[in-house]
Amino acid sequence: MENSSRPHRYLIPFDTSDVPHIFTDVLVIGSGVAGLRAAIEAAEYGEVLVLSKDTVREGSTGHAQGGVAVAMNGAQSVQSHIDDTLDVGCGLCDESVVRTIISEGPERVQELIRWGATFDSEDGELLFAREGGHTHRRIVHARGDATGAEIEATLVAEAQVHRNIHILEHSCVIDLISEDGVCHGAVFQHSTKGMMMAWSRQTILASGGTGRIFRETTNPPVVTGDGIAMAFRAGAKLMDLEFVQFHPTTLYIAGASRALISEAVRGEGGALVNKNGERFMTKYHPDAELAPRDIVSRNILQEMKRTADTNVYLDLTHIGRETLAKRFPMIMGLCAEFDIDIAQDLIPVRPSAHYTVGGIATDLHGQTNIEGLYACGEVACTGFHGANRLGSNSLLEGLVMGMRAGEAAGNFLHRLSKSFGPRHIKYPAERGHQSDIDISDVEISLRSLMWRNVGIERHKDTLDAAAERLEFWQTYVMERTFDNPAGWQLQNMLTLARAIVRLAQARSETRGCHYRSDYPDRDDTHWQKHSFIDRNTQEMTGV
């Protein structure tokens, strides 16, 4: 990245003496599985403030269908779960991180059950599903395909009754406040209270991924990468951002959101067919529909090209109406809204951006390279997922790393002064005004560019073209001051899009969910290493 695209330290000018202040021991930014689990743990040590961009339940967690991958089934072991995770991660997983998270998973799930979560069971025994990349059935699920909603509801209820936790909804965090490499909180805009400063002794980022950077995505509108971008501006090191996972099967109907059609559908026998009714995954991979997500996504794209169609189809007609209604009630209801009866009709599907594998680099306690700043969940990168996430390992990681980050932040409080006050920080900025930019138009163009040039298939020429276009947009978008979330989100999306492209340009190989058609082979000799980028060096380095 060139100096011309270096981001300003803060998106807005401000003077801390001119805005209201809130004080808390631990600030948690984000209210999904990782954020709420972190808040619950940190609340054992002090006061916790949770800032939610929208309502507390509006985020990726509540939309998760599949379940939690966890080694609780006696028919398989912790080691087999580790092996599957390492295999799908294509040589970039940190094995010690994988072992820790998977080993601690059963305790976290049992904890949810104690707090009231109800997972699907039969005769008192948990039911386990299988998804792509898994060699055993190890996915616990709730209400068929509503696992994320069940977990979110459980954690929200647990957080709301805790006397040390305060949740503030409709709070758009703009930037982290830091001085000399130490995080002191954040500046945010509340929907009715206006601009505010949240001062904290410790801060935990759990704001999710970057899916909305792409035109086709399963992610809800709030997932615009704000946390990763604000951490980048504060000096945090980002890791492996070129690895973006595209879910193979999302509903593809004009007028419908790109709703996820859970991988568990294929785990229960759903078959992928082309427009001619031919099942095709059997010719591409021995595990057919249950191959890792990157392989299924690429081969769906290949089949679409071969048959000159805009999508492929999921065939569930052989499974039976009663089983489908019990196992996938949400999917059945969603499709019914578009006159698709999944018990007798094919479901049109195609891949969409689904999960940000990379993120803010952290250790096993969620600690970033910025003192006082932790990150957990999809916003973070621990080395757990490597180059491609194993299905249903995301909720697992959110539970385990949320708890670990909350515990670490809470434990550190006793080392800090109990009394702290606001710092006087004045950040002036002379920039252009926002009125002469159509924010929506730039965002649509950005998302289309990223889908077209930086999507499932990448090539030097398309990546170079994307980099040139992004740099041009940055020259006038990043130099303006916006006063609303839409403008800040656009600036965050541009910042992260440029970082993703930079690292995708540098990684001249194919690995996991990063596919380069001009470098179609995996190259362990040169590229079995992580990639890093930060705002100071703005270069890629490997370890």
Tell me the catalytic residues: 293
DSSP letter assigned to residue 146 = -
Give the amino acid at 388.
Answer: N
Handedness of CA 366, 532, 427, 195 (dihedral sign): negative
Per-residue tokens: 379: 């916003």
Measured distance CA(387)–CA(510) in Å, rounded: 10
Q: Count the Cβ atoms, other than its own, within 10 Å of residue 536.
A: 9
Q: How many CB atoms lie within 10 A of CB 224?
A: 26
Report the DSSP pairing between strands 531-533 and 359-361.
unpaired
Q: Could you give the C-alpha distances from 73 to 33, 76, 269, 359, 394, in angstroms and in order?
A: 23, 6, 20, 31, 19
- Of the candidates 294, 502, 520, 259, the one whose C-alpha atom is nearest the C-alpha of residue 385 is 294
Q: How far apart are alpha carbons 397 and 38 in whole angstroms?
A: 12
d(CA 337, CA 241): 36
Q: What is the distance between the alpha carbons of residues 61 and 395, in angstroms, rounded to a whole number?
A: 8
* CA–CA distance, 427 with 12 (Å, rounded to integer): 8
* CA–CA distances in Å: residue 58 to residues 53, 68, 113, 228, 462: 8, 19, 22, 18, 34
Tell whether the torsion through CA atoms of 48, 51, 55 and 57 is positive or negative.
negative
CB burial readout 177-189, b (16+ within 10 A) else e: bbeeeebbbbbbb
